[in-house]
Amino acid sequence: MTSGPPVHSHPLGSEPATQALVNAKSDADLIDIRELLRTLWRRRAVIIGTVLFITALAVIVTLQLTPRYTASALLTLQTRQEAVIDIQAVMSGLSTDASVIRTELDIISSRRLVGKLVDKLKLTKDPAFNGALREPNPISLALNPRTYISPDWLMALGLSSGDEETLTEEERLSRERASVVNAVTGALSATNPQLSYTIKIAFESGDPKKAARLANTLAELYLTDQLEAKFEATQRATDWLNERIGDLRAKVLAAETAVQEYREQHKIIQSGNDGTVSEQQLNEINVQLVNAKADLAEAEARYSQVKAQANKSSNAAALGDVLKSPLIQRLREQEAEVRRKLAEITDRYGPRHPETISAKSELSDIRGKIAEEVSKITQSVASEVRVAQARVQTLSQSLAELTRENATQERSRVELRELEREAESSRVLLETFLSRFKETSNQEDLQQADARIISEAEVPTSPSYPKKKLIIALAFVLAAMLGLGIAFLLEALDSGFRALEHLERQNKIKGLGMVPKLTNLKLKGTQPFLYALKKPTSAFSESLRSVYTTLMFGHPGDSKPKTVLVTSSLPGEGKTTFCLSLSLLLSRAGNAKVLYIEADLRRANVSKLMTGLTEGTPSLTDYLTGSSERWEDCLHTDEASGLDLIAARGKTDYAQTLLQSERMRTLVSDASERYDLVLIDSPPLLAVSDAVIISHYVDSTVFVVQWETTARDAARNALDLLRKAGAPIGGAVLAQVDVKRHAYYGYGDYASYYGRYGDYYAN
């Protein structure tokens, strides 16, 4: 007995297969456009159905919607104010800051201004905004849970406060007005276009005329509100200024009265712009004292001169004061006349002549009078000195007294000046407030709004809602996106394999081929593995031959696998049908001697499925347990095809022990020498590990995957078991392929043409 074939007699795939795997790996990082298109084509029914359904639903809903109209009024904020008079306004104009514009938008949308609109247009009586005036909708009543729930339960659930019946008429109207304000606010839209000072006021309503009326009225109310705000601010400023002016007048009066009383109390008399009377008197006395002292000095100097000259009688008459006297001048003239006369008489009559003596007596008398007059003048000068001295003394005393009085007044004037400054500041403040009061009073007739209407709302001719074309277009786009999403989601959730290239790419395994699924219409009650014998030229048979050809000629050189293990990941994937059908087909061809071995010792079905097998022939279990000495005694030969097969019957508790035995290795080794091809049908990999044991005895392993059914994780885990065990994997086969559906998916592989080119097959 020869030993079995060497383990791993062939590498994992041939060089072309290896290169294909490398190319597949390099292309894995790129987006496969063709695969993407195939995915869309496979799921086209889902995509088209989703698009049609949602688009049709959007069309129906759009046609049922009540059209609404939007009217817009356009305002602009005044960036330049008209200054009719050059005075400062109480309430300045608006700035162009973005926050200010945002504030104006909030004012327009405020409940206060919208409330004015509601009151002016009496919208509380409009059923479009006042839901209490509308007739209840039967459908809404039917869908409203309040219709069926008792008031107590509504209160318990928080759906009712229970005070509706206790409301007064005023409270009910207030709530009704608040709800109308909410409805109007919901229909209002106040916006500011970017990089613009304009404000757009838009209203949406089912009545186009009502929408235009609402927009225009609100715009007018906004402008009026601005003016009222300015008027109120001006009025408040005027009232405040008026009250403040009254207080200031009383304060100024009190301050000026205090100044006057202080003057009177301290006898501070103001004399024009020259200061007080005391200061003027002090200045005048000071000047008089200076003059008096000068006069005294002059009088004393003259007196000293007169007194000094008086001691010299000859010179006394030469004094200026004497010469200035008219009497002295007449006496001098008389003296000169008498002396002339005396000289003539003396020359004529002599010194002793009576006329001479009489003339001398007259001259002496005149000179006596002159001396008497000079004495009087000297006494007069002395009297002037005394008068000047008395005047200087008096003025000095007066000056000292006034100086003391002025010092006292100066100390009082310090406080007086403080009182005067307080009175002056109050007076200036009063004048300022009076001036501002006049300016503010004048502004009441000159106020302007900070905005103006540049475009009134016109009655719209076409509805703004619903935008049917836009809604339908968006619905179409969203439906297409949703359809694509559902398609890709279904594709992602699809755990099966539909194409051989998917199996190859995801599991890095060579694909051997795809075997079509045989329908009941084609089988007509016969077993699937017998179909290959009856229809040797069918697409099913040709797919088996394609798998065999790829398996045989997919190895390097001239080496061909002679012992092939056929397994799968799970039961029911068509493994036995594929293996038995291929064995029968190849045996019927007559160019190869084929042996089929049923190595499933746990679920033996071949002897039940095939008819004509000899009942007394030993089974594989008998040989492995030693009940039969030679494996040749277990052979069965199919008369129709000439296939030799070894079946397994019954069940055994030691399947793995039997399969690991030397007898199993000897069976595989001897059969490979006697037969051209040995096909071993083994149990599923994920069910039991029997296939892993047998894989060490064969040249190649064929992994069968059921089309669209076998989970990808199951296939990956089963292949991992084979690879970890070092099994020679020849490739994978997709079995039970639905040809029509596969062609519908548009993969473009050869299985897609099984149903298209029926002339080549006899199905």
pLDDT, average across residues 350-378:
78
Task: Report the C-alpha gap between 223 and 228 in whole angstroms.
Answer: 9
Closest to 577 (Cα-Cα) out of 614, 543, 537, 530: 530
Residue ending a domain, choose from 433, 456, 491: 491
Mean pLDDT of the chain: 79
Do 187 and 324 share a domain, yes or no?
A: no
Helix (H), strand (E) at residue 735: strand 729-737
User: Is the Cα torsion angle 635, 638, 643, 649 positive or negative in sign?
Assistant: negative
Of 33 and 668, the one with more pLDDT: 668
pLDDT (average), residues 96-101: 76
- For 146, 559, 611, 635, 685, the CA distances from 726, given in Å and listed in that order, are 73, 19, 37, 30, 14
Cα–Cα dist 271/612, whole Å? 160
Residue 181: pLDDT band (50, 70, 90) is very high
Predicted pLDDT of residue 166? 66
Token couple for 426: 């109050």
Is residue 296 domain-shared with residue 147, that is, in the same domain? no
CATH code where residue 328 lies: 1.10.287
State whether 608 and 640 are in the same domain.
yes
- Residue 615 sits in the same domain as residue 735: yes
Say how far apart CA 233 and CA 227 lie, in whole Å. Answer: 10
Q: What are phi and psi of 32, to 5 degrees?
A: -85, 100
Q: How far apart are CA 142 and CA 494, in angstroms?
A: 43
State how far the Cα of 205 lies from the Cα of 203, in Å rounded to an integer. Answer: 7
Count the neighbouring beta carbons within 10 Å of the beta carbon of residue 477.
Answer: 12
The reported pLDDT for the residue numbered 29 is 46
Instruction: Tell me how far apart the alpha carbons of residues 300 and 384 are, in angstroms, rounded to a whole number.
Output: 8
- Strand pairing of 729-737 and 198-205? unpaired
Average pLDDT over residues 538-564: 83
**Is there a single domain that holds both residue 305 and residue 203?**
no
CB 205 within 8 A of CB 67: no
> What's the pLDDT band for 269 if we cut at 50, 70, 90?
low
CB 518 within 8 A of CB 528: yes
In-domain check, residue 500: no
572-576, 647-651, 681-685: the lowest-pLDDT one: 647-651
Residue 448 lies in a domain: no
- Tell me whether residue 611 is in a domain: yes
464-488 per-position pLDDT tens digit: 888 888 889 999 999 999 999 998 8
* Residue 328 pLDDT exceeds 90: no
- The rounded percent of the chain whose pLDDT value lies above 90 is 21
Domain presence at residue 471: yes
Is residue 328 located within the same domain as residue 405?
yes
Pairing of strands 729-737, 511-516: parallel
Confidence at residue 268, expressed as pLDDT on a 0 to 100 scale: 67
Burial letters for 331-359: b for 16+ Cβ neighbours within 10 Å, e otherwise? Answer: bbebbeebbebbeebbeeeeeeeeebeeb
Tell me, yes or no, whether 661 and 592 share the same domain: yes
User: Does residue 118 sit in the same domain as residue 48?
Assistant: no
Question: Which CATH number do you get for residue 700?
Answer: 3.40.50.300
Task: Retrieve residue 405's tokens.
Answer: 């009085």
What pLDDT does 188 receive? Answer: 93
Q: How far apart are CA 600 and CA 582, in angstroms?
A: 18
Q: Answer whether residue 422 is part of any domain.
A: no
Q: Which of 396, 413, 430 is the last residue of a domain?
A: 413
Q: How many CB atoms lie within 10 A of CB 702?
A: 27
**Residue 547, class by beta-carbon neighbours within 10 Å (0-12 exposed, 13-18 middle, 19+ buried)?**
buried
Residue 8: left (phi > 0), alpha (psi -120 to 50), or beta?
Answer: left
Statement to judge: residues 575 and 675 lie in one domain: yes
Output the pLDDT for position 7.
Answer: 38
Burial of 621 (0-12, 13-18, 19+ CB in 10 A): buried
Look at residue 1 and tell me if it is in a domain: no
Domain enclosing residue 596, as ranges = 15-24+508-757
Instruction: Please tell me the predicted confidence (pLDDT) of residue 639.
Output: 82
Number of CB atoms found within 10 A of residue 219's CB: 23
How many domains does the structure of the chain reveal?
4
Q: Are residues 668 and 749 in the same domain?
A: yes
Same domain, 517 and 484: no
Q: What are phi and psi of 9, to 5 degrees?
A: -65, -20
Instruction: Return the HEC string of 153-180.
Output: HHHHCCCCCCCCCCCCHHHHHHHHHHHH
Instruction: Write the DSSP symbol of residue 68.
Output: B
Do the domain assignments include residue 604? yes
383 and 307 Cβ atoms separated by less than 8 Å: no
Q: Is the pTM of this model over 0.75?
A: no
Query: Please, which pLDDT band fits residue 711 given cuts at 50, 70 and 90?
Result: confident
User: Percent of the chain scored above 70 by pLDDT?
Assistant: 79
Last residue of a domain, one of 195, 228, 261: 228
Residue 95 is predicted with a pLDDT of 59
- β-pair partners for 735: 706
Same structural domain, 347 and 318:
yes
